[in-house]
A and B are shown apart, each in its own frame.
Chain A
């Protein structure tokens, strides 16, 4: 079992819909969780960080964390074609230093 798993996609949603991206992790002691967006040929850029169970909202983005079930998700409301990218889930282990990244989910928002 990989430490951080994501569906590779592509996940296709129509413009204006809600895109739901999921990530599961194996280390129960993981403390911090991040979502990065990566456009093709570009570097990852941080979208959201979440550290506590529950929801965290920032504009059209909502991150959800459930430590008991060991999953973290990212919802994108009112999806736009410009949201088409690969979304990387990153988890920091309980000893705090190293990020472990999932393989990413490719999202395609169709006009």
Chain B
């Protein structure tokens, strides 16, 4: 998975609890992304980062926050988890931005919010 580690791989939590997912890369790539994947919707971008402490919102950012204090780590936080955030979360990295950036994906985190 292109030097990308997501943790945890599986998590079950309760509505209203905070949850943090971690993406760690060993490629020293500048760009990192968080997606969620749900049946019928494909992959949807939550947030992305174009450098340390530089982040921006994606298509479905409500209810999520991110932080990137080091090049290798990109954290996704659900401040107060809801059942609608039950999903599979993928982290992706890219060496470059721009229109020809190729993204490489981590193995994913399966999150269930009860």
Contact = CB atoms under 8 A, between A and B. Distances in A.
B43 A101 contact: yes
User: Which among A8, A44, A94 has the highest number of chain B CB atoms within 10 Å?
Assistant: A44
Interface in A51-89: 51, 88
A52 to B, nearest CB: 11
Given A98-B58, A102-B42, A103-B41, A44 B99 contact: no
Contacts of A8: 40
B103 A99 contact: yes
Interface SS majority for chain B: loop
Interface size class of B (residues with CB under 8 A): 20 to 34
Interface residues of A, number: 25
B97 A97 contact: yes
Given A88-B42, A88-B43, A104-B42, A46 B100 contact: no
B22 interface: no
